[in-house]
Amino acid sequence: MKTKFGMLANAAVMPILLYLAAPAIALSPGPPTLPVRGLYLGAPKSSEVPLVVSFIRDALPKEGVNTLVMEFDYRYQYTSHPEVVDSDALSTSDVKAIVAACHAANVRLIPLVNLLGHQSWAAQTFGLLRAHPEFDETPKKYPNNQGIYCRSYCPLNPDVHKVVFDLIDELAAVCEADAVHVGMDEVFILADPDCPRCGTRNRGELFAQEVRTLHDHLAETHREMWMWGDRLLDGSVTGVGEWEGSQNGTAWAINMVPRDIVICDWHYDSTPPTAAYFAVQGFRVVYAPWRKADVALAELDQMRSVRAHPDAVTAPRMLGMLQTTWGGASDFIKAYNGDRPVPAESAEAAATFRALFGSIRAMQASQSGGQ
C-alpha cells in the first residue's frame, strides 16, 4: 500500500489521510465504473471476420467489454495509398461488419496503426517502408532485417507524414472512430547516426516531437490519441528494463508531450506502480496485461486502489484495463470458446481475460450494492 500511494501525495501526510479516508471508502458506494474495460485484438483475416463479429456481438457484452482496440497497421485496403497495403488486408465491407458489430455491442472501436517503430517483423518489412524505402531511418542498412528488432521510419523525412496522416484519417474514418492508437512502442531505431536528418538529434526530443506531430494531427479532426507507454518510462530507474521501459534515451520525452494522450501501460510479468506514475504526470492511463492472470489481477487492484483514493484529481485518470492477446484474433477467440488445439499463449491470454473481466464485474457489482 505504501508503494501505491507513496507516489500520489506528500509522504508525510499520507498515513493520516489514509487513516481518515478508510471508513469513508468502506461505507461509500465507491468510485464509478471503470471507464475503460478494454480488449486488444489484431485485425483478423477476411475469412475470420464472421468469427470476430460473432465474438464481438455475443461475448463482449457478456464479459462487460466496452472498448476494442484493433490493430490494422497496413492490413486494410487503403485507397489513399494502395501501395502500402499488406497481404491479408481487410476490405471496407469487412471493416464495416466489425464496426456494425461494435455498435450493436455498445463497444468503442479504436483502430491501431503502429507508427514510428514496428515497421518490420523478422525478415518482413511492412507496407510503408516496402513501398516507400525512402522513409526508412536506416535505408540500405541491415539487409533482410538481420541484426535488428524492427525497422523505424525517419520522423524527419519531409514527406513521411503526408502518407501517415492519410492512413490515419482513412482508417479512423472507416472505423468511425473518435480515437486512434498509434502504437509507438519498442522503438529501438531512432536518431540513427547515419541518418542525415536525425543523426545528431537528441532521442528524447525527437521522440517527443513525433508524438506531438501525430497528436496535433489527430486533434485537428477531434480525435483522441492512444499510445503504448514504454518509451516514456525510464527502464533503469523503474527497473522494468529496456522493453517495458526505455533505455535508449526517450524517457524524458514524457516532459514534452501533451497530457490529453491516453497511455496504455503494458506489463506482462510484474506490476510496477507505473500507471499511477502516468496519472500523477497528468495522463489518463490503462494497464495492459497479457497472459498471466495474477499480473492482470494485481494491475486491476492497483487501478482500483488509486481510483478509490479521495484525491479527486489524480484518481479519475486511472481509466481501467486493456487485455492484450498477442497471437492472433482467431486463436484467442477459439481459446475463449474452448476450442482446441490453440497455441499456449492464446489459451493463457483467454484465461487471463476471463479472470480479469470476472473480477471487474464482481468489483462493479459490489460497488453498486450487488445490483
- Start-to-end C-alpha separation, the chain: 29
Stretch near Zn ion under the rule CB under 5 A, chosen from 113-121, 196-204, 213-221, 290-298:
196-204
* Long-range pairs, 341-345, Cβ under 8 A, ≥24: 345/291
Instruction: Compose the 265-294 pattern: x for residues touching Zn ion by CB under 5 A, - for all others.
Output: ------------------------------
Closest distance of CB 212 from Zn ion, Å: 16
Instruction: Rank residues 158 and 338 by Cβ distance to Zn ion and give the closer one.
Output: 158
Closest distance of CB 191 from Zn ion, Å: 7
Question: Does residue number 190 form part of the binding site for Zn ion (CB under 5 A)?
Answer: no
Question: Does residue number 197 form part of the binding site for Zn ion (CB under 5 A)?
Answer: yes
Question: Does residue number 129 form part of the binding site for Zn ion (CB under 5 A)?
Answer: no
Instruction: Rank residues 71 and 137 by Cβ distance to Zn ion and give the closer one.
Output: 137
Closest distance of CB 201 from Zn ion, Å: 8
- C-alpha torsion 346→347→353→356, nearest 10: -130
- Are 273 and 305 spatial neighbours (Cβ–Cβ below 8 Å)? no
Stretch near Zn ion under the rule CB under 5 A, chosen from 9-17, 84-92, 98-106, 131-139:
131-139
Cell numbers 479516508 label which residue?
A: 21
- Are 354 and 333 spatial neighbours (Cβ–Cβ below 8 Å)? no
Stretch near Zn ion under the rule CB under 5 A, chosen from 26-34, 189-197, 234-242, 251-259:
189-197
Binding residue for Zn ion (CB under 5 A) from 36, 154, 164, 333? 154
| 370: alpha, beta or left? (left if phi > 0; alpha if psi -120 to 50) | left
Stretch near Zn ion under the rule CB under 5 A, chosen from 1-9, 42-50, 109-117, 135-143:
135-143
Whole-angstrom distance, CA of residue 209 vs CA of residue 270: 30
Instruction: Rank residues 39 and 195 by Cβ distance to Zn ion and give the closer one.
Output: 195
Stretch near Zn ion under the rule CB under 5 A, chosen from 101-109, 187-195, 297-305, 316-324:
187-195
Beta strands in 235-362 (DSSP E): 262-266, 284-288, 318-323
Helices (H) and strands (E) in the chain, counts: 13, 10
Whole-angstrom distance, CA of residue 27 vs CA of residue 148: 54
Whole-angstrom distance, CA of residue 8 vs CA of residue 165: 37
Q: Which residues contact 150 (CB under 8 A, 6 or more apart)?
A: 117, 118, 119, 120, 121, 186, 188, 189
Question: Does residue number 206 form part of the binding site for Zn ion (CB under 5 A)?
Answer: no
Stretch near Zn ion under the rule CB under 5 A, chosen from 44-52, 171-179, 197-205, 327-335:
197-205
Question: Does residue number 70 form part of the binding site for Zn ion (CB under 5 A)?
Answer: no
Binding residue for Zn ion (CB under 5 A) from 101, 195, 295, 356? 195
Closest distance of CB 162 from Zn ion, Å: 16
Question: Does residue number 198 form part of the binding site for Zn ion (CB under 5 A)?
Answer: yes
Instruction: Rank residues 151 and 291 by Cβ distance to Zn ion and give the closer one.
Output: 151
Backbone angles phi, psi at 43, to 5 degrees: -60, 135
Q: Give how many residues touch Zn ion by CB under 5 A.
A: 6
Residues 161-194 as b or e (16 or more Cβ within 10 Å = b): bebbbebbbbbbebbebebbbbbbbbbbbbbbee
Question: Does residue number 168 form part of the binding site for Zn ion (CB under 5 A)?
Answer: no
Query: Strand pairing of 262-266 and 224-228?
Result: parallel
Cell numbers 533503469 label which residue?
A: 236
Instruction: Rank residues 148 and 237 by Cβ distance to Zn ion and give the closer one.
Output: 148
Q: Which residues contact 56 (CB under 8 A, 6 or more apart)?
A: 68, 98, 101, 102, 104, 105, 107
Question: Does residue number 201 form part of the binding site for Zn ion (CB under 5 A)?
Answer: no
Closest distance of CB 76 from Zn ion, Å: 26
Which residues make up the interface to Zn ion (CB under 5 A)? Answer: 137, 154, 156, 195, 197-198
